[in-house]
């Protein structure tokens, strides 16, 4: 006989799971129907009609999944494991939205949703390409939908459903053996599940509301160029697919690039590693396919204008989507669990993800091999003084740069496969060393190619423009080095020159656009943005300056001193005690706790030589003590035009738990309790005052816990006398089911007390009262690190300009398609 559980809301979960199954079935039906529409559709287009209906039903089912999941999270239905694991009642609505994609299932849904949106656009816009392209897209949609199934076939679980119940996902009897050993308590388990685990504190940032949707739209859009390339090979329309795919490739690069940039903003504003990029494996996983698709676009341009490099263009388009799947494997298989700060854990999807990679990888290999002899491969070599030749060389450099990132990031995969233990001691320095060289070459080539025409160019004109641009770049480089002080490393000087070279070369093209050649503006604007990113990243990364210098480490508690990476770069601040830090006089003024976060108000002042305040501002870095992750610190930043002052707490005292605990307190802020056996009318004394037992409330109620027929709840009404003030308090004692004792203490913060009603002694005819007094408070302190990032706005401005360049290019390519 099945056990019944009270209080569960099962309809939303049943509806959501129905839509999950429907989304998988309709995606599979659409893929099959589009396949037959491609190879042998009848004159009346019956297969095409079925495929479109299935695609629209798939869209409805995906929306149904999202609506059901949002209903569950928004209404705090903690009987569902996903809501319990990723949300809490304290979260504001905009962070509840973020709960969608904190877990694997929600992020897969987000990917599926965007792919459904793109599928509907393709149905509307793809025209003669619809059937073959949509066959591939819907195969991908079916694979994504299978990730959410959460069903068992022949003992193997396929996917992970977001609608699994908490009692099915977690063994409640092992979690609380005494409580749930009672069948009645187990049947009413929701009575004891008052809140969820909450959102990861690192994700409680507004960038994480918009960064994941943008990033997953970028991932989803990568299927479209792949599908067009496969369709072109499949139908032997080898050259035709390049033109319609180009706006889609630009769109994918723009959106995925924007998502990556948003991640940099999030890292800079919410994480405490002190910067905008840390070469974390998850960051690398997102940038790898972006680099290869950038390379693919440049080779497609070369092929479109000269007929050269068809195979390379096709291969790069195909491998870009396969690398998206590989990136998904890296972040979701659990294989990066010990090497990344924000990879997902394994939910039994390891081999599922491998199958996804193999399926699309084999699909690409099959069509390339089977059509090899028919590919439009040009036997004539490109001219050295041609744009297509240098576009190809630049794309080759991008691919090699990508291989270095892939190889280093994939070391955990290699170790897992072969049982090796390869590691890199200084991964950030390794990446920087290699990628600085690649970035230098790419920057120079992106400027160099602007002086060349397709097929062949005039060497005289080329060298003239090259010389002028090189001279301008040299002047700009010397000026920038003198201004910023970036001249200690010759490699940095070369990279600076390369960045200014691409800015100057593309600036020349941009001037031509202002004179009426607007169709050329998109690529130039994007390249100028890339150059500014290089300059900004170079200066900010190599010339950032830690100003919170503490050479002695005096005053920092030993355990916190040892936690910091470089103790000399962390300064101790006691409340209301000013400390000189570089040119700033810094004071820890106050703190405000909005549990679990504590915000520290840190005042900065700059005095002139006469002692007058020349500048003053406050920063509010915040921190929380997380049981699983230790101190979670989020920075605050003062922004200037030419630099930022970036401040975060590296150590802080334990933050008191402001929640009421059942039966005990784990806070270290109280002394050992005083125990009293009391009756109504009794007075007990504590240091600083006394407490009067006024009455006993036999009809007490407990907030958020409904009482059953056999429950007994009693309150002890107290008057706490502290000096001339009197504070009421009512600690509660509960016998759950008549035999399970629990108690709910009450804090009297103004008196420095916490009181608990812990026992009823019928044999003695009295009650047990525990009184906790706060320990003597130590001086409040924080350990803080402050960094000056010079010219960081060049980096942020360059990213915006680069995205604008992509947008201009998309508009241009769409106009070309309409004309044709």
- Are 345 and 337 contacting, i.e. CB atoms less than 8 angstroms apart? yes
Strand partners, 756: 770
- Identify the CA nearest to 445 among candidates 372, 530, 502: 502
Ranges 158-172, 326-340, 560-574, most confident:
158-172
> Measured over all CA atoms, what is the biggest interatomic distance in the chain, rounded to whole angstroms?
109
242 in helix, strand or coil? helix
Element (H, E) at 729: strand 725-729
Torsion of CA 648, 650, 656, 660, to 10 degrees: 80
Query: Mean pLDDT across the stretch 216-245?
Result: 94
Nearest to 559 by CA among 453, 456, 650: 650
- Residues 598-637 have pLDDT tens digits of 889 999 999 988 889 999 999 999 887 766 666 778 888 9
Please give the full DSSP string across 612-662, using - where no structure is assigned.
-EEEEEEE--EEEEETTTEEEEE-EEEE-SSEEEEEEEEE-PPPPP-SPPB
Q: What is the pTM of this model?
A: 0.80
Helices (H) and strands (E) in the chain, counts: 24, 23
Q: Please write the tens of the pLDDT for every residue from 739-770.
A: 778 888 898 888 888 999 998 888 888 899 99
pLDDT at residue 661, rounded to an integer: 38
pLDDT of residue 664: 41
> What element of type H or E holds 244?
helix 242-270
Rounded CA separation 138/116 (Å): 9
Unique residue bearing structure tokens 């393709």: 122
139 Cβ contact list (under 8 Å, min separation 6): 31, 359
Of the candidate ranges 28-37, 80-89, 247-256, 349-358, the one whose mean pLDDT is the lowest: 349-358
What is the per-residue pLDDT for 718? 94
Q: How many CA atoms lie within 13 A of 451 on its CB side?
A: 23
Reference 354, options 101, 143, 98; nearest CA is 143
Cα separations in angstroms, 723 against 103, 227, 264, 717, 750: 52, 78, 54, 19, 11
Which DSSP state fits 715?
E
b/e sequence 69-105, b meaning 16+ C-beta within 10 Å: bbbbbeebbbbbbbbbbbbbeebeeebbbbbbbbbbb
Please report which confidence band the pLDDT of residue 112 belongs to, taking 50, 70 and 90 as the band edges.
very high
Residue matched to tokens 């060389």: 393
- Mean pLDDT to the nearest integer, 680-693: 89
Give a three-class secondary structure readout of 129-142: HHHHHHHHHHHHHH
554 pLDDT more than 70: no
And the tokens for 681?
């009318």
- Residue 448's φ and ψ, nearest 5 degrees, are -60, -45
- Choose the most confident range, by mean pLDDT, from 229-243, 251-265, 292-306: 229-243
Q: Which helix (H) or strand (E) holds 418?
A: helix 411-418
Residue-level pLDDT at 451: 80
pLDDT value, residue 663: 38
Q: Tokens at residue 446, please?
A: 């992106």
Provide CB contacts within 8 A for 695, sequence distance 6+. Answer: 680, 717
Residue pLDDT, tens place only, 188-205: 888 888 888 888 777 777
| 276-286 average pLDDT score | 78
Q: Write the DSSP symbol of residue 80.
A: B
> Each residue of 288-309: pLDDT tens digit?
999 999 999 989 988 888 888 8
Confidence band, pLDDT 50/70/90 cuts, at residue 427: confident
Would the pLDDT of 1 be above 50? no
718-747 core/surface letters (b: 16 or more CB in 10 A; e: else): bebbbeeeebebbbbbbebeeeeebbbbbb
Query: What was the pLDDT predicted at 512?
Result: 64
- Omega into 596 within 30° of 0, i.e. cis? yes
Q: What is the pLDDT of residue 622?
A: 85
Rounded CA-CA distance 760/739 in Å is 12
Q: Report helix angle 310-332 to 223-234, nearest 10.
A: 140
């Amino acid at each position: 006989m099945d056990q019944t559980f009270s209080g569960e809301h099962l309809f939303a979960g049943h509806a959501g799971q129905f839509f999950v199954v429907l989304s998988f079935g309709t995606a599979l039906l659409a893929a099959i129907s589009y396949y037959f529409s491609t190879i042998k559709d009848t004159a009346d287009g019956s297969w095409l009609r079925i495929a479109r209906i299935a695609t629209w039903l798939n869209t409805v089912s995906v929306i149904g999944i999202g609506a059901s999941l949002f209903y569950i999270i928004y209404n705090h239905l903690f009987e569902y494991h996903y809501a319990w694991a990723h949300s809490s009642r304290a979260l504001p609505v905009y962070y509840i939205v973020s709960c969608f994609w904190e877990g694997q299932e929600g992020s897969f849904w987000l990917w599926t949703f965007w792919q459904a949106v793109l599928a509907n656009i393709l149905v509307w816009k793809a025209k003669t390409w619809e059937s073959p392209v949509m066959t591939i897209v819907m195969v991908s949609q079916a694979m994504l939908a299978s990730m959410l199934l959460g069903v068992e076939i022949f003992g193997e679980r396929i996917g992970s459903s977001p609608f699994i119940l908490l009692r099915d996902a977690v063994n409640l009897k092992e979690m609380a053996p005494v409580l749930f050993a009672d069948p009645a308590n187990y049947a009413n388990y929701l009575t004891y599940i008052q809140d969820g685990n909450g959102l990861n504190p690192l994700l409680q940032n507004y960038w994480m509301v918009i960064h994941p949707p943008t990033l997953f739209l970028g991932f989803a859009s990568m299927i479209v160029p792949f599908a067009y390339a496969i369709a072109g090979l499949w139908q032997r329309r080898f050259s035709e697919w390049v033109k319609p795919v180009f706006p889609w490739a630009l769109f994918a690069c723009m959106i995925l690039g924007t998502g990556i940039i948003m991640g940099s903003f999030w890292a800079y504003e919410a994480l405490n590693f002190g910067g905008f990029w840390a070469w974390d494996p998850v960051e690398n996983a997102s940038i790898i396919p972006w680099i290869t698709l950038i390379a693919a676009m440049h080779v497609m341009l070369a092929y479109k204008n000269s007929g050269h490099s068809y195979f390379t263009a096709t291969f790069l388009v195909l491998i870009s989507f396969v690398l998206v799947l590989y990136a998904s494997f890296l972040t979701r298989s659990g294989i990066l669990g010990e090497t990344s700060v924000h990879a997902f854990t394994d939910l039994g999807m390891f081999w599922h993800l491998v199958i996804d990679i193999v399926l699309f990888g084999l699909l690409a290999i099959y069509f390339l091999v089977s059509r090899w002899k028919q590919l439009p491969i040009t036997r004539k070599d490109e001219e050295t003084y041609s744009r297509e030749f240098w576009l190809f060389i630049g794309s080759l450099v991008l691919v090699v740069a990508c291989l270095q990132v892939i190889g280093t990031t994939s070391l955990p995969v290699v170790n897992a496969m072969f049982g090796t233990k390869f590691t890199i001691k200084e991964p950030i320095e390794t990446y920087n060393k290699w990628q600085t060289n690649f970035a230098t070459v790419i920057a120079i080539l992106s400027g160099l190619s602007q002086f060349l025409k397709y097929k062949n160019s005039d060497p005289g004109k080329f060298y003239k423009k090259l010389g002028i641009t090189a001279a301008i770049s040299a002047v700009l480089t010397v000026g920038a080095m003198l201004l910023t002080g970036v001249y200690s490393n010759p490699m940095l000087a070369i990279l600076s020159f390369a960045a200014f070279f691409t800015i100057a070369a593309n600036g020349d093209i941009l001037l031509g656009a202002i004179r009426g050649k607007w169709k050329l503006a998109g690529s130039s604007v994007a390249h100028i943005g890339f150059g500014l990113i290089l300059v900004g990243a170079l200066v900010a990364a190599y010339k950032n300056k830690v100003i919170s210098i503490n050479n002695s480490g005096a005053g920092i508690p030993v355990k916190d001193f040892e936690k910091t990476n470089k103790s000399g770069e962390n300064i101790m601040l006691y409340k209301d005690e000013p400390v000189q830090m570089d040119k700033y006089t810094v004071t820890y003024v106050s703190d405000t706790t909005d549990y679990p976060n504590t915000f520290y108000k840190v005042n900065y002042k700059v005095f002139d030589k006469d002692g007058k305040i020349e500048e003053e501002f406050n920063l509010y870095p915040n921190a929380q003590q997380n049981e699983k992750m230790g101190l979670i610190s989020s920075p605050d930043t003062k922004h200037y035009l030419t630099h930022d002052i970036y401040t975060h707490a590296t150590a802080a005292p334990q933050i008191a738990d402001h929640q009421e605990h059942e039966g005990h307190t784990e806070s270290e802020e109280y002394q050992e309790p005083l125990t009293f056996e009391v009756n109504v009318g009794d007075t007990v004394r504590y240091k600083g005052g006394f407490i009067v037992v006024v009455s006993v409330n036999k009809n007490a109620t407990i907030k958020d816990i409904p009482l059953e027929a056999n429950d007994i709840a009693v309150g002890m009404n107290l008057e706490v006398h502290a000096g001339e003030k009197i504070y009421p308090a009512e600690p509660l004692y509960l016998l759950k089911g008549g035999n399970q004792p629990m108690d709910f203490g009450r804090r009297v913060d103004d008196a420095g007390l916490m009181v608990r009603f812990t026992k009823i002694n019928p044999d003695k005819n009295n009650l047990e009262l525990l009184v906790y007094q706060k320990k003597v408070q130590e001086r409040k302190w924080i350990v803080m690190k402050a960094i000056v990032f010079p010219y960081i706005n060049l980096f942020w401005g360059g990213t915006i300009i680069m995205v604008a360049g992509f947008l201009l290019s998309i508009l241009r390519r769409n106009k070309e398609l309409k004309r044709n």
